[in-house]
Amino acid sequence: MENINKELKVSALENGTVLDHIPAENVYKALDILGLKGIGNQITIGINLSSKLFGKKGIIKIADRFFQDDELNKLALIAPHATVNIIRNFQVVEKKKLVMPHEITGIAKCMNPKCITNHQPVRTRFTVLEEDGEISLLCHYCEKRSDIKSLF
């Protein structure tokens, strides 16, 4: 109990969004996907925090920022077990789980070197495929599958 209180003191949010249970190695990707690099809001990032469930986890707290569900759901690609806490007036007013999006646009790169999206200014578009817990992306243009690692 003491630990939790200490953590809250350091980074308590008055209003904003807390993204928890992000795999530690994907925290920077999460910032990218949500477009948080270079914005003016106060952001607290924790990496390699211990988690009973995942070993090492990451956490991102963004002050005064609330997201649409479809913005947040993009995170499911790299952090399928992440949880979202909406904070208002220091209280968690809502908890959400992510839903894997059916389609994503503009955030991943096609791994096919002969794909039109790698040669012309075309916004990428993929259908998300989930097979046996493995996620891959089917390019809307060249119809080839890309590994999730091609995301950035």
* 37 lies in the binding site for another protein (CB under 8 A): no
* 148 lies in the binding site for another protein (CB under 8 A): no
Sign of dihedral through CA atoms 57, 44, 73, 107? negative
Question: Among 142, 145, 148, 150, which residue sits at the site for Zn ion (rule: CB under 5 A)?
Answer: 142
Question: Among 109, 140, 148, 150, which residue sits at the site for another protein (rule: CB under 8 A)?
Answer: 140
* 112 lies in the binding site for Zn ion (CB under 5 A): yes
Concatenated DSSP letters of 15-75: EEEEEEEEEGGGHHHHHHHTT-TT-SS-EEEEEEEEETTTEEEEEEEEET----HHHHHGG
Question: Among 27, 115, 128, 137, which residue sits at the site for another protein (rule: CB under 8 A)?
Answer: 115
Residues 92-111 that bind Zn ion (CB under 5 A): 110
Helix (H) or strand (E) run with residue 2 in it: helix 2-11
Question: Among 7, 70, 143, 147, which residue sits at the site for another protein (rule: CB under 8 A)?
Answer: 143
Residue 129 φ/ψ region, left for φ over 0, alpha for ψ in the -120 to 50 degree band, beta for the rest: beta
* 106 lies in the binding site for another protein (CB under 8 A): no
Do β-strands 15-23 and 134-139 pair in parallel, antiparallel, or remain unpaired? unpaired
- Give the residue among 47, 55, 49, 2 at the shortest CA–CA distance from 27: 47
Q: Which stretch binds another protein (CB under 8 A): 54-62, 64-72, 73-81, 139-147?
A: 139-147
Residues that bind another protein (CB under 8 A): 110, 112, 114-117, 119-122, 139-145
Summarize as ranges the residues that interact with Zn ion (CB under 5 A): 110, 112, 115, 139, 141-142
